[in-house]
Chains A and B, each alone.
Chain A
Amino acid sequence: MVDVDPTDVEMLRAALAPSRGCVSIEQLSRLCDADRSGAADARAAEHVAGCLRCRTELALLKQFESGAVRPGDEKDASWILERLPHDVARLARGDLLPPRGAAPGRPAPRWRRFLVPRTLAGGLAIAAAALLVVLNIPGRDAAPPELPADATAGPSGFRSDAIAVKGPAGDVDAVPKELRWEPAPGAASYSVQVMEVDRTPVWSGESRDPKIALPAVVRVRVVPGKPFLWQVLAKDAGGQTVAASEIQRFRLRTAPPKD
């Protein structure tokens, strides 16, 4: 006879670990549906009724299926839901997602290792560094410093990985009519995206030439002092991304340039 403490941590872990009889997620899903349809898998239901682990898992699955947002999370959920469709659109097309939130010391999410081609890693690193530079510039309410036209330039050793951009970049005197860049070797087409400074998408377009006209719907949004970002990706004939520009930033001057 051995006396056992039921609150011993290892004992609890053993008691609550999955057993061979635990049901699969698919079976739990069918039990979820059975709540509505009445057609339950009797064996799975019997196991779940006596299994703390499966009951908890079923409760979590139901919570997930409900799509309920925790009170207080609504604003954050809206913020993410505004951005996620654009990310998924890119992922669904096989594109990579540009670096995001590359704060110093913050490890990159694991998924980027799988998405970013090695050939683009250098260019994207530059783009991330450039974005940090961009985000450190005071907002439009502050007296804006002059933006140099090469504000996003990185170490010259990496330049060959990126598409060289002609413009617009930095402070500009007039609303740009088009975006221009140097042709990229092996490119059959180009995909362009214009973004707000927080990377909210404004407009995207495709072009076979190393330039693309900015439509009126975008041009009317270019007002003095308001910065925009843009980036171009080069695609080969199969639609695969073969090169990317650094993220460019431009802004219409708030006052006429001094001589």
Chain B
Amino acid sequence: MESRLDALSDTELFANYLAAGSREQAAVWVQELFRRQYPKVVGWCLRFTGDREEAYDLAQAIFAKACRHLESFRGQSKLSTWLYAITRSECMNYLKARSRRPTTAGEEELDQLPDRTGPQPDQALQREAWSRLVHDLLDQALDDTEKKVFTLHYGDEIPLNAITRLLGLPNRSGAKAYIVSARRKLRRAARLWKARGDVFDA
């Protein structure tokens, strides 16, 4: 039976699941569909949590959700992609449940924007323009790992220790070291930008 199942594609397994006449039959196809994804989900959960028990809870939660919603899978992507979306969402919920906001290295010393509080009629446009400039500076000044660390930390608000595990950073202080070095590079890049006369002008 196992070798017969191995020969089937995910698409075929999912079609068999939809056509199953009983819950027991459907369970056979579901188990094989998900069996193929276990290493991906488990590896990810371990990276995210850094704890065996929590990773197990998280993996159970992911497959419980996947079992409940499998009928909503439309086959427009690979099953592994659909499961990745669930995995990522559950992991973010896990993080939010533990911390509303990540600890940010050196955050307190960086809040130095001059007079950002004054009302300005075109503030939204200004901020959008600044955001684009900062994005481009990040892209130009940082190395690949720094970009990923910055994006996960500031874009997704993932704590630094989770980023360290997720990206498999081998250095002693992990993601924090990348944040510190990236900030330094970013300030230097901004100074060069200004020196060329390209001030952040909204």
Contacts and interface: CB of A to CB of B under 8 A. Distances in A.
B2 interface: no
A5 B26 contact: no
Contacts of A174: none
Contacts of B27: 89, 92-93
Give the interface centre of A93, A101, A114 by most chain B CB atoms within 10 Å. Answer: A93
Given A56-B152, A93-B23, A69 B43 contact: yes
A4 to B, nearest CB: 4
Interface residues of B, number: 81
A84 B77 CA distance: 24
Interface in B130-148: 130-135, 137-139, 147-148
A216 interface: no
A64 B38 CA distance: 11
Contacts of A29: 77-78, 81, 84
Interface stretch (A9-17, A152-160, A176-184, A243-251): A9-17
Contacts of A88: 30-31, 34-35, 63, 67
Contacts of B194: 3
Contact of A80 (B35, B52, B111, B168): B52
A6 B139 contact: no
B113 A7 contact: no
Contacts of A239: 23-24
A46 to B, nearest CB: 14
Contacts of B139: 50, 52
A94 interface: yes
Contact of B81 (A18, A26, A59): A26
B56 A11 contact: no
Given A12-B150, A55-B147, A70-B168, A3 B199 contact: yes
B80 interface: yes
Given A16-B154, A87-B60, A88-B67, A81 B53 contact: no
B143 to A, nearest CB: 12
A45 interface: no
A8 interface: yes
A115 interface: yes
Q: How many A residues are at the interface, by size bracket?
A: 35 or more
A76 to B, nearest CB: 4
A223 interface: no
A30 B80 CA distance: 12
Given A5-B112, A81-B42, A11 B134 contact: yes
Contacts of A89: 27, 31
A137 interface: no
B127 A97 contact: no
B59 interface: yes
B53 A101 contact: yes
Give the interface centre of B76, B131, B139 by most chain A CB atoms within 10 Å. Answer: B131
Contacts of B56: 79-80, 83-84, 100
Contacts of B40: 64-67
A89 B38 CA distance: 13
A69 B42 contact: yes
Interface in A12-35: 12-18, 25-26, 28-30, 33
A4 B113 contact: yes
Contact of B200 (A3, A60, A63, A67): A3
A126 B61 CA distance: 22
A12 B44 contact: no
A239 B25 CA distance: 13
Contacts of B183: 7
Interface of B: 23-24, 26-27, 30-31, 34-35, 38-40, 42-47, 52-53, 55-61, 63-65, 67-68, 76-78, 80-81, 84-85, 87-88, 93, 97, 104, 107, 110-114, 126-127, 130-135, 137-139, 147-148, 150-152, 154-155, 157, 165-166, 168, 183, 186-187, 189-190, 194, 199-202
